[in-house]
Amino acid sequence: MRKIVTLIRRSPRLKLAVVLAASSTFVGGSIFLSQQFWRENGLRALEAVNEQRVQLVVNAIKAEINRQDHLPIVLALDSDVRRALAHPDDRAQLDHLSRKLQRLSSEADTGGLFVIGPDGTVLASSDWNSPDSRIGRNYAALPFFASVMASGRSRYLGPGSTSGRAHYYIAEAIRDAGVLGVAVVRIGFDLLEAAWQRAGERILVTDANGVVFLASDPALKGRHVAPPQSPSTQPGGAPPVALTLLEQRGDNAIVQVKEIAENATYLYRSVPMREYGWSLHRFADLSAVRADQRDGAIIGGAMSALLISLVLYILQRHRAYRVVRDAGARLQSEVEARTRELREANASLQAKIDEHRQTEAQLRATQNELVQAGKLAALGQMSAAIAHEINQPLGAIRTFIASTKKFIEAGEIKRVIHNLDLIAELTERMASITGHLKTFARKSEPNRPEPFPVERAVAGALFLIEGQLKSARVKVQKDIQADAWVMGYPVQLEQVLVNLVRNALDAVAHVKNPQILVRVRASRDTVSISVSDNGTGIPPDLIERIFDPFMTTKPVGKGLGLGLSISYGIVQDLHGRIYAANRPEGGAELTIELPRFLQETAVLARATHA
């Protein structure tokens, strides 16, 4: 190694070659890292915009449907509709109804309104004066007709009569003593598709079978969209709209779609619209990201070249310092200027870091305040039962004091002592109630978790709502494994259990034999806490959304829909998960799963870090 270093020092050409090779390697590495950094920043910005655009499109589709979904119900209550169905042979009445439907459709800006007789034949329609009018057509064979006749309401996605464009049908049964007929609104999406085309969007909406029925590019309608496949696993018979996966980025992906443009790549995002059984697909152009990547490569190369030049310049000036003193002074001034710029950049970066930390602290404080508000709201809702629990001992104390006075006058000291003992027991009970309420209402200290038994949190929660359970005459069964310990904040878990038991109490309010079961089980790594009831259960269409903020199944004035949302956040902070399900025998069951705390694990961890 020394011989090589000596040879390089003695040979100017070899030294130049080594310097050029090292410089080229450094510049190439800088270009690669810089373009990757700029590409990543560009992709993150595009992902944020893509997420917002996807939600806007989903909301626009839902708004278009929600704007018109009440029209079949309005028609089902309309007196003209009912008279026409009562006299289906009265042509004048049906013509009058068709003209009325035409006016309503025009004012409501719908794709069409029509009324079907009980045999499936269209009796009146808003397109009565169109050559392709649906009057006289029979829809009895279509699935949505049988569904609406059976259940009273149906939704159906189908093509238009002649255009082949997709329309969404909402049907409502018109009832009297029996089914008189069916009122139907046809919802079109032409304006949405036109808006997508004008905005240059690349959007596809597929049905439950993956077939495109809405698209910013009409040429892609009716074609099947397959999930993204990596190039190495792409099937031989490629689907009509083939997505070749190039990179997976969480919920987003970078794909290549030849059907949109040859060898073009896009940032792809797919969102399910579960209430309709559809899926929304959006393809964002990556040209801006490629431009950022190119700019990053240029900047990285320029910066590295500048840095190398600066280093070489400093070395050259250092050798010539004794010869050219003034040139050395200018070089020193330039170095100081560059250093000052770096300090300012470092200070700016540190300020941004501090701002980020402050924002994170504010977020945690806000979350803690929301949890505290949930606890105080729960205490407020339990105030009547708590007052009842305290008033009973107070009434008994007053009675014992009155009787004690009599005993003192009569000189019966033993009875006086007995009454004083009873009064002391009652005051201890009131102190226990108020003490637990103060503990429950106190703000949590999220930075000081502690190990605790789940049985203690269950007992505290049931103690808080004991009065409500007694007044509602609800039978509470407990099946608790005693050695189930978790790490966290007991009062927060107690709040979650209060919310779950109170929800179960509301669910069995009208049940003949109300029962609530609290079960705690522990496996090697997990503690499972379930609260189940024998109520009516959770509607299937709401079970996936019950943890959303302001989502509630209670009547107006009975709840804000924040209890389960707060509970969800608390369980997330405890590194667990919470989910709901309906029991086969009836009623609902909400389950919390938390990491189990084992004493031997904690001892081993302390020994490892010692």
For the segment 354-404, what is each residue's pLDDT rounded down to a tens digit? 787 787 667 565 555 555 555 555 555 555 445 545 655 665 576 667 677
Eight-state DSSP code of residue 252: E
| Token digits of residue 367 | 């979350």
Inform me whether the pLDDT recorded for 33 exceeds 60.
yes
Q: What is the pLDDT of residues 444-492, one digit of tens each?
A: 555 578 899 999 889 888 887 777 788 888 889 999 998 899 998 887 8
519: helix, strand or coil: strand
Q: Is residue 174 a contact partner of residue 98, using CB atoms and an 8 Å limit?
A: no
Nearest to 77 by CA among 65, 68, 66, 85: 85
Q: Are strands 577-582 and 588-595 parallel, antiparallel or unpaired?
A: antiparallel
134: helix, strand or coil: coil
pLDDT > 70: what percent of the chain?
77
Q: Is residue 444 a contact partner of residue 417, using CB atoms and an 8 Å limit?
A: no
Top pLDDT among 579 and 426 is at 579
Top pLDDT among 322 and 412 is at 412
Q: In what order do the strands lie in the sheet with 515-522?
A: 475-480, 515-522, 526-533, 588-595, 577-582
The Cα–Cα gap between 235 and 424 comes to: 81
What is the mean predicted confidence (pLDDT) over 260-267?
76
CA distances from 389 to 401, 450, 559 (A): 19, 30, 24
72: helix, strand or coil: helix
61: helix, strand or coil: helix
The Cα–Cα gap between 138 and 129 comes to: 18
pLDDT band for position 582 (50/70/90)? Answer: very high
Inform me whether the pLDDT recorded for 249 exceeds 60.
yes
pTM of the model: 0.46
Eight-state DSSP code of residue 228: P
What is the mean predicted confidence (pLDDT) over 255-268?
78
Q: What is the pLDDT of residues 351-361, one digit of tens each?
A: 888 787 787 66
Please list, in sequence order, all residues whose beta carbon lies within 8 angstroms of the beta carbon of residue 407, skipping any fewer than 6 positions away.
413, 415, 416, 419
pLDDT > 90: what percent of the chain?
10
- Token look-up 């025009």 returns 106
pLDDT of residue 563: 67
Out of 202-211, 491-500, 595-604, least confident range: 595-604
pLDDT of residue 160: 47
**What is the average pLDDT value for the chain, to the nearest integer?**
78
Please list, in sequence order, all residues whose beta carbon lies within 8 angstroms of the beta carbon of residue 249, skipping any fewer than 6 positions away.
43, 47, 267
The Cα–Cα gap between 74 and 105 comes to: 12
Q: What is the largest CA-CA distance in the chain?
A: 123
